[in-house]
Amino acid sequence: MRQNELDELRRQVDGLNNQILDLINERTAVVQEIGRVKEKQGVNRYDPVREREMLNALVQSNKGPIPNGVLEQIFKGIFMSALEIQEDEQRNALLVSRKRKPEDTIVNVNGEEVGTGSPTFVFGPCAVESYEQVLAVAQSIKSKGLKMLRGGAYKPRTSPYDFQGLGLEGLKILKRVSDETGLSIVTEIITPSHLEEALDYIDVIQIGARNMQNFELLKEAGMANKPVLLKRGLAATIDEFINAAEYIISKGNSQIMLCERGIRTYERATRNTLDISAVPILKQETHLPVFVDVTHSTGRKDLLLPTAKAAIAVGADGVMAEVHPDPAVALSDAAQQMDIKQFDEFYAELQRFMNTHQTI
């Protein structure tokens, strides 16, 4: 008899659970509709004042036996989950999102396809210093059968008194070396006003860490007819990084390569902290190719090879590193650039690794 009573009460609870479930789903659908209306009006989805009003009204109508504190907790949970669902929807609707476009984006740099499964390498000096300097590195890159050369003509330096780059003259050097070797040029542009002029000299627009949220530059790059290599900001979250790429794609340019280059943490053993897990996260969340810059992330020559191996093992589409014919006299990043012999060894070792290990 007692057992029957308990079974009946449990049946009632199960029925009520289902009713609550249906109501929560119904409520979520209405909130999603509100979200769509707000989006059209350009209004923020989260409205704490409205949330407070709803909670107050619920407390007013509470006939018990739930205490008001518990009631508030339950409803805050319901409000929060509706908001999270909307945020997920917003994230999935981004043009860079893999939910929106499941297949990988292949970036084409003068016929060199990035993002097809075999890693692309971008090597070159930190800064363009002279024709001879760039040519020496370019020849070494070419001798390895590689296709891309990096080098900064505009250098965004921490101190205004440090070498700022050769500017247009640097671009001309890069172009001359490109014409002579056939290598494609990856170089950083730091302001929208330089972009149009620079396009005649370069093949890939690099947007550096310090400019990841230079939204005007992102928009200009989005209107350009050249691939973009976008580096992660010095202390940017993955979400901010993805949104920076969205700025570019939203203007029509989907030829974007993302580059993890380390972020600022409390750790001082390396120049920055290489966030290696950002690679698979970015590849899951977006359809864009992902590079790892082992030079700026570590700032240490002894870590270039192990981190490059890690990048390849974890599924990166490319690796960037700095090479200088005589790093000791380099005008920027002297401590961390490889010389040509070290570059040869680095690349040979990386090739051996790639031939003997599977990537994920």
* 153: exposed, middle or buried (Cβ count in 10 Å: 0-12, 13-18, 19+): buried
Minimum distance from residue 166 beta carbon to Mn ion (Å): 15
Question: Is residue 261 part of the contact set for ligand PEP (CB under 6 A)?
Answer: yes
> Would you say 159 or 356 has its CB closer to Mn ion?
159
Is the sign of the CA dihedral 173, 174, 175, 178 positive or negative? positive
> Would you say 35 or 262 has its CB closer to Mn ion?
262
> Would you say 220 or 333 has its CB closer to Mn ion?
333
> Would you say 230 or 305 has its CB closer to ligand PEP?
230
Q: Which does 101 bind (CB under 5 to 8 A by kind): Mn ion, ligand PEP, none?
A: none
Count residues near ligand PEP (CB under 6 A).
Answer: 10
Estimate the crossing angle of helix 278-285 against helix 238-249, to 10 degrees: 40
Question: Is residue 296 part of the contact set for ligand PEP (CB under 6 A)?
Answer: yes
Among 115, 208, 222, 327, binds ligand PEP (CB under 6 A): 208
Rounded distance, CA 31 to CA 139, Å? Answer: 60
> Would you say 255 or 337 has its CB closer to ligand PEP?
337
Spatial contact of 258 and 287, defined as CB atoms under 8 Å apart? no
Q: Which does 218 bind (CB under 5 to 8 A by kind): Mn ion, ligand PEP, none?
A: none
Count residues near Mn ion (CB under 5 A).
Answer: 2
Give the interface segment with ligand PEP, choosing from 37-45, 71-79, 92-100, 204-212 (CB under 6 A). Answer: 204-212
Residues with Cβ < 8 Å from 56, sequence gap 6 or more? none
Give the interface segment with ligand PEP, choosing from 61-69, 96-104, 207-215, 349-357 (CB under 6 A). Answer: 207-215
Radius of gyration of the chain (CA): 26
Q: Find the residue with minimal CB distance to Mn ion.
A: 126
SS in 3 state form for 172-231? HHHHHHHHHHCCEEEEECCCHHHHHHHCCCCCEEEECHHHCCCHHHHHHHHHCCCCEEEE
Question: Is residue 194 part of the contact set for ligand PEP (CB under 6 A)?
Answer: no
Give the interface segment with ligand PEP, choosing from 51-59, 99-107, 205-213, 273-281 (CB under 6 A). Answer: 205-213
Question: Is residue 333 part of the contact set for Mn ion (CB under 5 A)?
Answer: yes
Question: Is residue 126 part of the contact set for Mn ion (CB under 5 A)?
Answer: yes
Q: How many CB atoms lie within 10 A of CB 223?
A: 13
Q: What are the DSSP E strand ranges found in 58-183?
A: 107-109, 112-114, 120-124, 148-150
Minimum distance from residue 331 beta carbon to Mn ion (Å): 10
Which tokens belong to 284? 């899951």
Question: Is residue 275 part of the contact set for ligand PEP (CB under 6 A)?
Answer: no
Residues with Cβ < 8 Å from 288, sequence gap 6 or more? 96, 105, 107, 115, 245, 256, 257, 258, 282
Among 107, 109, 209, 331, binds ligand PEP (CB under 6 A): 209
Rounded distance, CA 219 to CA 216, Å? Answer: 5
Rounded distance, CA 341 to CA 343, Å? Answer: 5
Residues near ligand PEP, by CB under 6 A:
126, 152, 188, 208-210, 231, 261, 293, 296
Residues near Mn ion, by CB under 5 A:
126, 333
